[in-house]
Amino acid sequence: MLDAFTAPGRFFRGNLHCHSSRSDGDPTPARVCAFYRDAGYDFISLTDHFMERFGYPVVDTTPFRADGFTTLIGAELHAEGIDNGEIWHVLANGLPLDFAPLMPGETAAQLAQRALDAGAFVSIAHPGWYGLTLDDALAMPPAHAVEAYNSICDWETGRGDGNYLIDQLLNKGRRTGVIATDDAHRYGEEACRGWVMVKAESNSPDAILSALKAGAYYASQGPSIHHIEIDGDHLFVETSAARSMWLVGHAARSTVVMGRGITRARLPLEKFSGGWARLIIADEQGRRAWSNPLFV
C-alpha cells in the first residue's frame, strides 16, 4: 500500500482494460488511444480479447505512443475452466507482442502463469460479473491484482464490483493488488469511470510496468489519495475531499471516519494488527478510491 506514497516520481493516470475494433470494441486502436490521450490520461493498455479462433490479435499500440502518452502492450486472455461453466477472463498488461495464443490443452492457470513468466502485470478481471468464486481464484497462480471496479460491467449489468474477492483472497493469505478499469467497448458512458494512479519516475512503458508490479499505485473512480503513512499506531491519510474513509481488514474488521469534505484522517491500526488493512474512500457523489492492502 505504501509503495505508491514512498516511491520517487509522480502519479500517472492510466486505464488498464479496454477494447478496440480488433476484437469486439467499436473504435480502431488509433482512436482508442486518441480518446484517452484527449481525456488527459498518461497511459493505457489496450487489452483486446486474444482469441485466435476469431482472429483477435495482441494489438501493437506502439505507433500511438506520443509525447506525454504511452501504452503497455496488453490483452484479455481466455481459457476454459471456471466452476460455473464460463471461460476465464484474465487481464495481462505488459505482454510481449509475440505472446503465443492459447495452446492445445492449456489450462487457464497455465496461461496466466505464462503471462506472468513473460513479465506481464496480471489481474483477475470483473469477478462479480460472472460469479467467479474464491475457489476459482485460488486455483490460479497468484495474480498481481483483482478489479475492484469494472465500469462496463457496472454500467451494463450492475455487477462491476470485485471487492468481495479481494477481501476473501486476503483473508486466505493470498496477497493481491486492487485496480479499477473501464473495460471500454463503445466509448460512451462506460468510459473514464475507473482508473489507476501509478507512481513512477517517468511515463515510459518499462517504468509504468515496474511500478505496477511493485504495487506503487491506487485505484479510483474520482477521488485522489494524496498520501498514506504509518504514524505510530495510526494510519495517517491525506486525500481529496471525502465523505467517508474506511479501513477494512480480516473478516469483519473495519474502522471509519465520516464527515463533510474530510481531507485528512488518522485511522487506528490496532484492530488490524497481525493481518491486513486497505483504505477505501468515498466522495460526496459516492465515487470511491481504493488503496492496495497494507500488512500490519
> CB of residue 161 vs Zn ion: minimum separation in angstroms?
15
For Zn ion, give the closer residue by CB, 122 or 125: 125
For Zn ion, give the closer residue by CB, 185 or 199: 185
Q: Which amino acid is at 154?
A: D
Q: What is the CA radius of gyration of the chain?
A: 18
For Zn ion, give the closer residue by CB, 22 or 89: 89
- Decide if 31 contacts 25 (C-beta within 8 A): no
> CB of residue 25 vs Zn ion: minimum separation in angstroms?
9
> CB of residue 271 vs Zn ion: minimum separation in angstroms?
36
> CB of residue 268 vs Zn ion: minimum separation in angstroms?
38
For Zn ion, give the closer residue by CB, 154 or 183: 183
> CB of residue 183 vs Zn ion: minimum separation in angstroms?
4
The residue nearest Zn ion at its CB is 89
DSSP-assigned beta bridge partners for residue 254: 248
For Zn ion, give the closer residue by CB, 76 or 161: 76
Going by C-beta distance under 8 Å and a sequence separation of 6 or more, which residues neighbour residue 117? none
Residues 21-40 interacting with Zn ion (rule: CB under 5 A): none
For Zn ion, give the closer residue by CB, 125 or 212: 125
> CB of residue 89 vs Zn ion: minimum separation in angstroms?
3
Binding mask 152-191 for Zn ion (x = CB under 5 A): -------------------------------x--------
Going by C-beta distance under 8 Å and a sequence separation of 6 or more, which residues neighbour residue 62? 71, 73
Q: Does 76 bind Zn ion (CB under 5 A)?
A: yes
Specify the stretch interacting with Zn ion by CB under 5 A; choose among 75-83, 94-102, 250-258, 267-275. Answer: 75-83
> CB of residue 77 vs Zn ion: minimum separation in angstroms?
10
For Zn ion, give the closer residue by CB, 151 or 176: 151
Binding mask 88-117 for Zn ion (x = CB under 5 A): -x----------------------------
Specify the stretch interacting with Zn ion by CB under 5 A; choose among 66-74, 86-94, 167-175, 256-264. Answer: 86-94
> CB of residue 157 vs Zn ion: minimum separation in angstroms?
12
Burial class (CB in 10 A: 0-12, 13-18, 19+), 231: exposed
Residues 210-229 interacting with Zn ion (rule: CB under 5 A): none
For Zn ion, give the closer residue by CB, 125 or 265: 125
CB 2: neighbour CB atoms within 10 A? Answer: 16
CB 38: neighbour CB atoms within 10 A? Answer: 9
Residues 114-143 interacting with Zn ion (rule: CB under 5 A): 125
Note the residues at the interface with Zn ion (CB under 5 A): 76, 89, 125, 183
